[in-house]
Chains A and B, each alone.
Chain A
Amino acid sequence: GAGVSQTPSNKVTEKGKYVELRCDPISGHTALYWYRQSLGQGPEFLIYFQGTGAADDSGLPNDRFFAVRPEGSVSTLKIQRTERGDSAVYLCASSSQRGQNTGELFFGEGSRLTVL
């Protein structure tokens, strides 16, 4: 499809396990973003990539969270030693060059993470 693709759509894991969430942005979009949405809340910024580099990772809650975008397209969000409080929907978004300045983001459907 032409939109942002996220996999898996649902992930159930046990406390302490390692999790990877994948995002495939819209073709040609240079910027990629990860947001986290807890139940009943709005999305919360985690990290933003411009090309291959993390331009701003100030929203990552702690060092258990890490994200990469090695070829400037697909990105993976990695969570180590998961905790129950990590349970949320992880949203990926991408934008064109213009969208970086205007906030016009295209979101995927999200990966729902449940930590038991």
Chain B
Amino acid sequence: GAVVSQHPSWVICKSGTSVKIECRSLDFQATTMFWYRQFPKQSLMLMATSNEGSKATYEQGVEKDKFLINHASLTLSTLTVTSAHPEDSSFYICSARGGQGYTFGSGTRLTVV
């Protein structure tokens, strides 16, 4: 079946630094990928839609300059959290849309200290 690999699975960074999260579709091409954020005990919140070769579409209230998304190939999308602060600590999940529907990555737990 379709597999989406997300790395790293967890990361701790200092406040003010930037962190990059990768999302790869391993056995299918994904023209569209999605990034979600999830706080403890809450549901997944869609942050942005990433389309290969074009600018990402951000959901209302999500700062595009803070959460940089790059979808340079049909199998890779990256999310960079710039100038991270403790309030950015969260569980970030990517999803790729392919021929069989949607497949989710295993998530990245970001802790900003």
- Whether A associates with B in a native complex is no
Mark A residues whose CB is within 8 Å of B: none
